[in-house]
Each structure stands twice: as structure tokens, then as C-alpha cells.
């Protein structure tokens, strides 16, 4: 992962931006209804401000500045191979998907770009075990998967994000890939977004990337509570033909989640200062 490009998608799940208090940042960006708003980088190996390796699959490390408030962002991560033609991305080839946490600072008034809220520590991103993608289109493995998330506070488990099928993402499959390629190649530096082609070129055209494809809607607790030392965030991407979320929640309470890496991607992170 140290040589991967890490990027995220803004607004690929209806109403998440409103819950995160960030919808106003995109007033000047036009797009079709419920379409994602843009792409942001969160890890770029050769970038002056984003080169800190920020993945930790066991813990979320809060910012050194204790006034900064952090929320987890439960979502699906997709690992892709990248090919280029004449200095621009030609194809993105999805290889794996997984549970992903794109934790974000919410109240940094000095942050002018989304990326400045993202790489805040050596443990601000995390991913579960990877599940192979047979075909990233209708009829493929992703059809059968959903995402759910939970937070453990003082030993008690609570729902953190709404349980949602992956097909509920606004853009998915070929529509998502086509949009991603266009944005990675041609997104301009405007408002809170950045020129992604410039970043990719300056990073010597990486051959692999991890894409956080958008955070789900929060429950009321997830929307209104910031992470605190000692919390535990659990994000599950699961085959909903084999598991139901209520059963998984019960197994999580009993600390008995199955080791079923083909049908269940698990990310469990303890929050630390």
C-alpha cells in the first residue's frame, strides 16, 4: 500500500454530505441529481502534505490537536490497477473490494481542501480483508454484498451507519468507473477540490490505487457523536445472501464474528489519542 495512490469520492451516497455538515462546500459545483461531487486525495507517496502513510487496520489515531473532531466514514474500498495512454488514465481495473474507513476531521476551519481533513495521523484510514472481484458489473460478486457499521462505546455496541446494499451507491459499476476516469484525468482545482491529473503526474503515474467510493448515511448516533478515546469502530461488508445484519450485530456483541474471508470483510479499529 505504500506505493498506492489513495483517493476518495465525495457525495456518492445520498444525504451523507448533509449529515457531515459539508453540503455547503459544493454549492458551486454542478452535477446531475445525486451524482458524486468530485474526488479528493488522502494518500499520495510523493506529495508534500499527503505522503504520511496513514493506514492502520487496528486503530484510529486521533489528531494531536485535541480541539479537532473526528468521525469515522464507513464505506467500501476498491483496489484497482491503472493503465495509461499518452499521460492520461485509460482504464481502471477493479481487483478487490473491502470494508474501509475514511475517517475525517469535521471542524478544521483552516482546511481549504477536503484532503486537508483526511490525512491527520498515521492511523486515520483502515481496510478489512480483501474480497476478489470476479466482474465489476451487474451479475458479479458485488451484487450480493451490503455494508453495515457499528461503534462500541463503554463496552456496548450501537449501529453507526445505516445498513445498505452496495447497489445503493449512486454511481457503481461501469458508470462509476467512467466517472472516475474522467475526474482523475480532468478534475480542475476549484472550491474544495484539486487538480487530480497534476497530482497523478507528479506521483510518477502510479499503477495501483485504493478508492474509497463514498460513505454511507449515519444513524442519529453516528451523525451527532464524534469519536472518543476508547471507542471501537467496526465496519462490515458482507454477503447478504449468507448473513443478515441483525445476526452479525449479535455475533459482534459476543465477539464471535466468523472468519469467512470470501463472504465477510471486517475492519475493527480501536480509537486512541
Chunked in runs of 10, what are the mean pLDDT values of the chain (273 residues)?
Answer: 96 67 58 84 95 98 97 98 98 98 96 97 98 98 98 97 96 97 97 96 97 96 97 98 96 96 98 97
- Helix or strand holding residue 188 (H, E): none
Answer whether 102's CB lies under 8 Å from 75's CB.
Answer: yes
First to last CA, the chain: 24
Beta bridge partners of 84: 89
- Helix or strand holding residue 81 (H, E): strand 74-85
Answer whether 103's CB lies under 8 Å from 70's CB.
Answer: yes
Q: What is the pTM of this model?
A: 0.94
- Nearest alpha carbon to residue 63 among 17, 104, 121: 121
Q: Which three cell numbers stand for residue 60?
A: 484510529
Residues 266 and 232: their CA atoms lie apart, in Å, by 13
Structure confidence at residue 15 (pLDDT): 57
Structure confidence at residue 28 (pLDDT): 58
Cα separation values, 210 from 92, 191, 195, 222, Å: 11, 24, 18, 25
User: What does DSSP assign to residue 141?
Assistant: G
Structure confidence at residue 16 (pLDDT): 46
Answer whether 264's CB lies under 8 Å from 257's CB.
Answer: yes
Amino acid at each position: 500500500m505504500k506505493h498506492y495512490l489513495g483517493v476518495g469520492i465525495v457525495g456518492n451516497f445520498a444525504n451523507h454530505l448533509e449529515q457531515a455538515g459539508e453540503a455547503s462546500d459544493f454549492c458551486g459545483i454542478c452535477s446531475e441529481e445525486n451524482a458524486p461531487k468530485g474526488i479528493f486525495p488522502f494518500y499520495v507517496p510523493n506529495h508534500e502534505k499527503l505522503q504520511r502513510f496513514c493506514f492502520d487496520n487496528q486503530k484510529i489515531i486521533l489528531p494531536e490537536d485535541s480541539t479537532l473532531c473526528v468521525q469515522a466514514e464507513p464505506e467500501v474500498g476498491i483496489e484497482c490497477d491503472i493503465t495509461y495512454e499518452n499521460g492520461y488514465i485509460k482504464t481502471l481495473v477493479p481487483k478487490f473490494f473491502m470494508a474501509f474507513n475514511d475517517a475525517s476531521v469535521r471542524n478544521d476551519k483552516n482546511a481549504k481542501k477536503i484532503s486537508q481533513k483526511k490525512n491527520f495521523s498515521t492511523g486515520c484510514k483502515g481496510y478489512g480483508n480483501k474480497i476478489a472481484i470476479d466482474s465489476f458489473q451487474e451479475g458479479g460478486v458485488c451484487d450480493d454484498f451490503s455494508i453495515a457499521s457499528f461503534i462500541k462505546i463503554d463496552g456496548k455496541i450501537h449501529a453507526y451507519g445505516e445498513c445498505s446494499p452496495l447497489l445503493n451507491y449512486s454511481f457503481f459499476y461501469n458508470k462509476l468507473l467512467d466517472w472516475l476516469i474522467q475526474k482523475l484525468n480532468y478534475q480542475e482545482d476549484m472550491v474544495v477540490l484539486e487538480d487530480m491529473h497534476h497530482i497523478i503526474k507528479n506521483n510518477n503515474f502510479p499503477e495501483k490505487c485504493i478508492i474509497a467510493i463514498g460513505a454511507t448515511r449515519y444513524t442519529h448516533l453516528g451523525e451527532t457523536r464524534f469519536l472518543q478515546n476508547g471507542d471501537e469502530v467496526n465496519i462490515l461488508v458482507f454477503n447478504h445472501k449468507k448473513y443478515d445484519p441483525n445476526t452479525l450485530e449479535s455475533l459482534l456483541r459476543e465477539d464471535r464474528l466468523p472468519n469467512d474471508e470470501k463472504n465477510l470483510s471486517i475492519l475493527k479499529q480501536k480509537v486512541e489519542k
